């Protein structure tokens, strides 16, 4: 197979490990910390997880390894959407296994959690692993979105584990996947299967973090990839001086990606969904906010600009969230089939008008027809509107155009407005991982083996102090239940990992807020350029602006 020069060079890159993990597995001891409690709903969570709740946080340090010496057979799966660095988690896990005992075995179950259920796997070897070191993607074993949450599924997984003599399963995924890891760990412990379950924190959206998990892997690479292209668009806008670029980026439930890209590139406008929700901004409010920037820049002769929009922005708009909830209710059950059987849009509009409240109908009527139709595209598996299919970048530019048209009628605006639209999503999910993500992910995998070797279960692999050089990183583990609370899902109370939203009093947003008025009017663009893998550490090993600000760097 022919490979690129960069890919060949990346194969040879040796990821950096935290200092306490560098001297080999035989020289790593464990320090036990305080007992933990869930972030909320402690009584309910502890009742649901009697065997794995309240365990202590732990930290690894240099010292004599007191773990039981035995052959380890470990299974690993990738779960959910791709994120740069996933391959290195598996490589770090494999290398630690083999460093402890060359007879240890790593089985990769294909296609995500379904691979465990279907017993579809491959045994990892040196030759196989070496083809994936420091590369992007999840193609080493593939991924999937099957949820491990039913008793029947757990019984099947237990049988598969027993067949292969597995003593541990590592689940590499986001908040939902690691919630499933916690539930599976509890089942395995309650039934005395002897199978440990360890999670690793993944998501480019950046919403799997808290006081313990400083960053989810993939966020660094994805935001740098998006920021490079946004910077290129800014340079083009400043050259052509005639287009307003509306750029939607990943992040349905939180706006971390949008905020980080704004900190990297200093666009004229960046919408933060969490602020929109707190201020109860309407679609008209948002359109006027953007139009203010367009008008002020036009008055200076600058009929161009850049707007960054988080993917899930419309869900943060209270009036739009209400509309979506009403649509979900309107199309639930047989009524959805009746709607789909209508032959033309006019008939469907009549159906919609009869089914929505007066306030929601007013919101619906404001929307361009293409957005109205997108609200009624194929539903998700739970029968809900697929918000990710709504072209919010086009919706907002259309509403801005309407706002500017009204201003022209009143003589308060005389400029030109020519919008262009972009959505950056899949482009960032499988990029070559940055040095940070390559190092971080390798450390997460290596550290996951240490948790296994010391007998922990229901724990998340944890690497902290991430804004410092890798040698100063701190390795350890935390019980997944510490991150959990009870939320209403599909009509039922369920234990889930709490998503981390952008903190409006946090340092990253505060910095952004202090500068955005200037950015809205002036052309203050910055151009991050491509991710650098070789050269000075100050260029190649830098973290995100978000992490640097959070940790005071």
Catalytic center residues: 205
What phi-psi label fits residue 301: left (phi over 0), alpha (psi between -120 and 50 degrees) or beta?
left
- Hunting for tokens 């990769």 — which residue is that? 108
| Secondary structure of residue 351 in the 3-state scheme | helix
Q: Check: CB of residue 96 under 8 Å from CB of residue 449.
A: yes
What span, in angstroms and rounded, lies between the C-alpha atoms of 495 and 488?
9
Q: Check: CB of residue 61 under 8 Å from CB of residue 39.
A: no
Q: Check: CB of residue 58 under 8 Å from CB of residue 33.
A: yes
Contacts by 139-142, CB closer than 8 A, 24 or more apart: 140/78, 140/86, 140/87, 140/90, 140/108, 141/76, 141/77, 141/78, 141/90, 141/108, 141/109, 141/110, 141/111, 141/115, 142/78, 142/110, 142/111, 142/112, 142/115
What span, in angstroms and rounded, lies between the C-alpha atoms of 378 and 386?
7
Q: Tell me the helices (H) and strands (E) count for the chain, helix number first.
A: 22, 15
DSSP 275-336: HHHHHT--HHHHHHHHHHHHHHHHHTT---EEEEEETTHHHHSHHHHHHHHHHHHHTSTHHH
> Where do runs of H (alpha helix) occur along 2-61?
5-11, 42-48
DSSP 8-class letter at 499? P
DSSP 110-139: TTTHHHHHHT-EEE--HHHHHTSTT--SST
Q: How far is CA 239 from CA 230, 268, 519, in A?
A: 14, 16, 17
What span, in angstroms and rounded, lies between the C-alpha atoms of 434 and 220?
7
What span, in angstroms and rounded, lies between the C-alpha atoms of 482 and 484?
6
| Secondary structure of residue 61 in the 3-state scheme | strand
């Amino acid at each position: 197979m022919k490979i690129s020069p960069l890919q060949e060079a990346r194969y040879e890159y040796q990821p950096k490990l935290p200092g306490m993990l560098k001297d080999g597995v035989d020289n790593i001891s464990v320090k036990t910390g305080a007992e933990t409690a869930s972030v909320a709903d402690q009584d309910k969570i502890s009742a649901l997880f009697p065997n794995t709740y309240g365990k202590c946080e732990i930290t690894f340090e240099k010292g004599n390894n007191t773990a039981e010496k035995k052959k380890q057979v470990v299974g690993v799966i990738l779960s959910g959407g791709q994120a740069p660095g996933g391959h290195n988690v598996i490589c770090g896990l494999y290398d630690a296994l083999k460093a402890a005992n060359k007879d240890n075995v790593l089985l990769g179950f294909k296609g995500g959690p379904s691979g465990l259920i279907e017993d579809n796997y491959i045994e990892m070897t040196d030759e196989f692993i070496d083809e994936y070191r420091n590369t992007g993607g999840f193609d080493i074993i593939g991924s999937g979105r099957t949820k491990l949450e039913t008793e029947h599924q757990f019984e099947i997984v237990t049988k598969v584990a027993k067949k292969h003599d597995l003593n541990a399963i590592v689940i590499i995924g986001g908040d939902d996947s690691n919630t499933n890891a916690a539930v599976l760990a509890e089942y395995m412990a309650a039934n005395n299967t002897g199978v440990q379950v360890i999670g690793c924190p993944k998501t480019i959206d950046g919403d799997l973090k808290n006081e313990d998990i400083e960053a989810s892997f993939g966020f660094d690479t994805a935001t740098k990839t998006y920021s490079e292209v946004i910077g290129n668009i800014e340079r083009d806008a400043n050259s052509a001086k005639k287009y307003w670029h509306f750029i939607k980026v990943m992040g349905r439930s939180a706006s971390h990606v949008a905020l980080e890209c704004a900190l990297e590139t200093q666009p004229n406008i960046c919408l933060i969904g969490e602020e929109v929700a707190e201020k109860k901004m309407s679609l008209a409010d948002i359109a006027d906010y953007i139009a203010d920037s367009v008008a002020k820049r036009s008055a200076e002769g600058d009929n161009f600009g850049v707007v960054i929009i988080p993917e899930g922005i419309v869900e943060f708009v209270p009036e739009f969230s209400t509309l979506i909830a009403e649509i979900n209710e309107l199309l639930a059950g047989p009524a959805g089939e009746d709607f789909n059987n209508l032959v033309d849009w006019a008939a469907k509009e009549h159906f919609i008008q009869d089914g929505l409240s007066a306030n929601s109908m007013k919101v619906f009527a404001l929307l361009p027809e293409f957005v109205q139709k997108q609200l009624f595209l194929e539903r998700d598996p739970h029968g809900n509107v697929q918000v990710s299919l709504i072209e919010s970048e086009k919706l907002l530019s259309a509403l801005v155009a309407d706002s500017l048209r009204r201003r022209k009628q009143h003589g308060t605006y005389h400029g030109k407005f020519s919008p262009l639209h972009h959505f950056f999503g899949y482009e960032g999910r499988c990029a070559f991982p940055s040095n940070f993500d390559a190092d971080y992910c390798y450390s997460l995998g290596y550290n996951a083996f240490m948790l296994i070797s010391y007998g922990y279960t229901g724990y998340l692999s944890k690497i902290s102090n991430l804004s410092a050089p890798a040698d100063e990183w701190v390795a350890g583990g935390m019980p997944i239940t510490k991150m959990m609370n009870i939320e209403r899902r599909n009509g039922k109370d369920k234990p889930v990992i709490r998503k981390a939203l952008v903190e409006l009093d946090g340092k990253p947003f505060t910095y952004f807020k202090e500068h955005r008025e200037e950015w809205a009017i002036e052309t203050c663009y910055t151009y991050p350029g491509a991710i650098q893998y070789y050269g000075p550490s100050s260029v190649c090993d830098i973290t995100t602006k978000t992490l640097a600000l959070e940790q005071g760097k």
